[in-house]
Amino acid sequence: MSLKTLVQNSLKSLSVTSNGSVAFSPTQFDADVMTTYGRFPIALTKGRGCFVWDNEGRRYLDFVAGIATCTLGHAHPAMVEAVTRQIQTLHHVSNLYYVPEQGALAHWLVEHSCADKVFFCNSGAEANEGAIKLARKYAHTQRGIANPLIITAQASFHGRTLATVTATGQPKYQKNFDPLMPGFAYVPYNDIAALEALVDELDAETPQVAAIMLEALQGEGGVCPGDVAYFQRLRQLCDQKGILLILDEVQVGMGRTGTLWGFENLGIEPDIFTSAKGLGGGIPIGALLCKAACAVFEPGDHASTFGGNPFACRVGLTVCETLEAENLLSNVKQRGEQLRVGLQRLVQQYPTLLAQVRGWGLINGLVLQPETAIKSVDIVKAAMGEGLLLVPAGPQVVRFVPPLNVSADEVQQALNGVEKALAVVSQA
């Protein structure tokens, strides 16, 4: 078979159209793809800036951004240039060798955080898995704890692997996946009395608590910001008892909250923290970061085939450098404030439907009244009809997580769109 025939057959099997896009059939998609998502009935095929287009040519203002992932929006020139250059140079070699791009990204992250060491992987769940392993090894080797426990918060979200779904304090994600991983305990978020009581109970006879793992702001749990006094007391408690403080920065890190890291809003530093989502601007990458004192991994303890490859790290470094070059942290603060003021006006306009607005920077939640029959997904669907993409954060909260370079005009467009959506659902 000639090369030309082989290429033609390959394109035919992918259903590539004459303009280079992939032909789409919802029926065939549902027949071939495992049903692990309740998908909205649109197929997105193109993006630019803060907008995306579906396969029928309709434009949407994207306030989902790949669920807080597309830091620079879609087709940002710096990312396009970095992706093009790196794929033409070297995209993967494995961690058997030094990877200069990996070293450069690690150095940037160390220089811009409280961390001393970085391990790269592919996702937030993998980064959190690494944090769990690191905390357990530290407990065994540095503190002599035979059966280490990690405390996490109710309503948290840390991933979908078996260990991270166990760490996730939401039973709905754990259902039918028993037996879950041992070694986890749960407390209410932002409740320091409950946390201190549990630590005292677990460590009453001999130390068992190896780490406390929390989000600076709970994203999937309803866009619930951490309380400053709670986290500062938590830091004191960990220091007093030798417990590691792990912060999951997968959704709130990389500028999302108006500071580079979510924990900066709380005036503390963790011992270990994780990053993913926004770090690659939409290209899969995750990172486990820690201070030198708890960097106890040795060769053979942990690994990732794709983690830290030249392609992902080149893109990650581009995202980091662009955050600085375009002064996006300032934009996040300004546009976040504009968004919250506008959403608060809608709360006042629809008091029987909406309860409050909460969030930091450009991760914000519009909270529904508990007694309303309308759910967050109803508002998301109505907004989609107005050309605006939003995402639920549980049944009672609509989440707004646009690209960090969103403009003032685009924020106003989003506010106009959600106002129209609220008018639709309130009349239904």
Domains and CATH numbers, the chain: 13-75+328-427 (3.90.1150.10), 80-325 (3.40.640.10)
Q: How far apart are CA 123 and CA 131, in angstroms?
A: 12
**pLDDT value for 125:** 98
Would you list the DSSP string of 178-203?
A: PSPPSSEEEE-TT-HHHHHHHHHHHT
Would you call 277 a catalytic residue per the annotation? Answer: yes
* 351 CB burial (10 A radius; 0-12, 13-18, 19+): exposed
Q: What is the pLDDT of residue 22?
A: 79
C-beta atoms surrounding 200 within 10 Å: 11
Phi, psi of 276 (to 5 degrees): -165, -130
At 18, the pLDDT band (50, 70, 90 cuts) reads: very low
pLDDT tens string 37-56: 999 999 999 999 999 999 99
Which of the following is catalytic: 62, 137, 231, 248?
A: 248
For residue 358, name the pLDDT band (cuts at 50, 70, 90): very high
Cα distances (Å, whole numbers) of residue 154 to 23, 57, 188, 274, 393? 43, 42, 5, 19, 15
- Would residue 248 show up in a list of annotated catalytic residues for this protein? yes
* Average pLDDT value for the chain: 94
Q: pLDDT tens across 393-417, in order?
A: 999 999 999 999 999 999 999 999 9
Over residues 290-295, mean pLDDT: 98
Query: What pTM did the predictor assign?
Result: 0.94
Residues 51, 137, 231, 277: which is the catalytic one?
277
- Alpha-helical (H) ranges within 242-364 are 310-325, 328-349
Coil, strand or helix: which one is 367?
A: strand
Q: How confident is the model over 218-247, as a mean pLDDT?
A: 98
Q: Using CA atoms, how far apart are residues 259 and 20, in angstroms rounded to an integer?
A: 40
Phi and psi of 287, rounded to 5°? Answer: -145, 135
Q: Pick the catalytic residue: 63, 157, 184, 400?
A: 157
Per-residue pLDDT tens for 339-354? 999 999 999 999 999 9
pLDDT attached to residue 211: 98
Mean pLDDT confidence for 106-126 = 98
